[in-house]
A and B are shown apart, each in its own frame.
With several copies, the nearest count.
Chain A
Amino acid sequence: MTWGVIVFPGSNCDRDCIHVLRAVAAQDVVEVWHADRQLDGVDALVLPGGFSYGDYLRSGAIAATAAIMPAVRAFAASGGPVLGICNGFQVLTETGILPGTLMRNAGLRFRCMPVFVRVESADTPFTAALPPGAVLRIPIAHGDGRYLADPSTVSSLEADGRVVFRYCDAVGRTTSGSNPNGSMAGIAGIANAAGNVVGLMPHPERAGEALLGSTDGLRLFESAVAWLHARRAVLQGTAR
C-alpha cells in the first residue's frame, strides 16, 4: 500500500513515521508537502507529531490552515484511513475533522514516557486487527494532551464506540494514576463517525521495534494495511 505522511513546517516525527512504515511495515511512502493541494495515489494518510508552526496560538491551529488540508478533508470524507498522531491529532481537532480539543496537560508539564492504553474499539482501520480490550505499551511525548469536549460530545463518543484508546495501567485498569494528562474519561484517542479517521496522543511509531522497547504501536499500522487489503479485495470483487 502507499502511505502519505504530511510534512508541516515544524513537524518532527514525520521522518520517524516514514521509517516505521517503510523499513518495518514494508509500505510505500510518499512525503506530502503542506503547501501541496493534491493527494494523489495514497491509500492511507498520517499526520505526524511535532510542533507545527511552533504550536503558536494553539497546538495544530495554524497547520489546520495549510493548503493541503482541504485535500485531507476530502480524503477523510471519501473513507480513506487517516491517522493523526500527537500534533497530528491536534491538527485534526482544530480542523473539526475530529471533535473536541487538546488542552495543556493538567500537570502543566511536557511528559515523555511509555504509557499503557486500552483498545476500546475495533471499528477503525487501525484497530480492526486488535482484540478489543488489548493493552498496548506506547510512549507519549506532549505538553498539550488533555482531551476536552463538551459532556454531550463525550457521551456520544462513548455511546458510538468512537473512543478508540483509553489510558490504563499495565493490566488494563483505568485509574487516576494511569491518566498522564488529565484527559476527560482518560481518552487517549478517538475516531470520526465513520471510523476511518483516528487521532491519538501516544506515538505508535515509537513502539515499532523491539529494540526501542515495544512493538505494540506497529500493530496499528499493520491493522490498517490488512484493512486496506481487505477493502481492495472487496472492491475488486464488486468490480468483477
Chain B
Amino acid sequence: MPTFRVTIMLKPGVLDAPGQAVEHGLRALAYEVEHVRMGKVVDLTVPESMRPRVVEMCERFLANPLVETWQIDERETAS
C-alpha cells in the first residue's frame, strides 16, 4: 500500500507561537538561530484505491486551509 507523508506548515503570515518558543529555547541554550518554524507531519498508509483522494483528505481534514499549507510526498512503499 502507498504511504504518503503530509507535511503541514502554518502560512507565512500566521503567528507561529510554538516556533517562536522553540527559537527562544534554543537561544537560551546558547545556540545561534536565525529563524524557526514548526509544523506537523502525518504519515498516511492507504489502499491504492485511495491514492487519488489524499489531496482531498488534506483539504477537508488534515490541514486547515485558512491558516495552513500542506505538501504531499509519496514514500517508498513499505511492503
Pair count A-B, CB < 8 A: 59
Q: Cβ of A54 and Cβ of B66 under 8 Å apart?
A: no
Q: Cβ of B21 and Cβ of A65 under 8 Å apart?
A: no
Task: Closest A residue to B62 by CB, please name it.
Answer: A57
Interface residue ranges, B against A (CB under 8 Å): 14-15, 17-18, 21-22, 24-25, 28-29, 38, 40, 61-62, 64, 66-67
Additional pairs, 9, CB under 8 Å, beyond known A57-B40, A65-B61, A108-B21: A53-B21, A56-B17, A56-B18, A56-B21, A57-B18, A57-B38, A61-B64, A65-B29, A104-B17
Q: Cβ of A53 and Cβ of B67 under 8 Å apart?
A: no
CA distance A54 to B23 in the complex (A): 13
* CB within 8 Å for A104 and B18 given contacts A57-B62, A66-B28, A150-B66: yes
A-B contact pairs, 9 of them (CB 8 A): A57-B21, A58-B64, A62-B21, A62-B28, A65-B25, A65-B28, A101-B66, A101-B67, A108-B17
Q: Which residues of chain B come closer than 8 Å to A107, judged between CB atoms?
A: 17
CA distance A33 to B25 in the complex (A): 16
CA distance A67 to B27 in the complex (A): 11
Task: Closest B residue to A107 by CB, please name it.
Answer: B17
The 6 closest A-B pairs by CB, nearest first: A56-B18, A56-B21, A65-B28, A62-B25, A53-B21, A65-B25
Q: Which of A94, A101, A106, A149 contacts B15 (CB 8 A)?
A: A106
A105 close to chain B: CB less than 8 A: yes
Q: Which residues of chain B come closer than 8 Å to A146, judged between CB atoms?
A: 17
CA distance A56 to B24 in the complex (A): 11
Q: Which residues of chain A come closer than 8 Å to B38, judged between CB atoms?
A: 56-57
Q: Which residues of chain A come closer than 8 Å to B61, judged between CB atoms?
A: 61, 65
Q: Cβ of A62 and Cβ of B24 under 8 Å apart?
A: yes
A91 CB, min distance to chain B CBs, angstroms:
12
A103 close to chain B: CB less than 8 A: yes
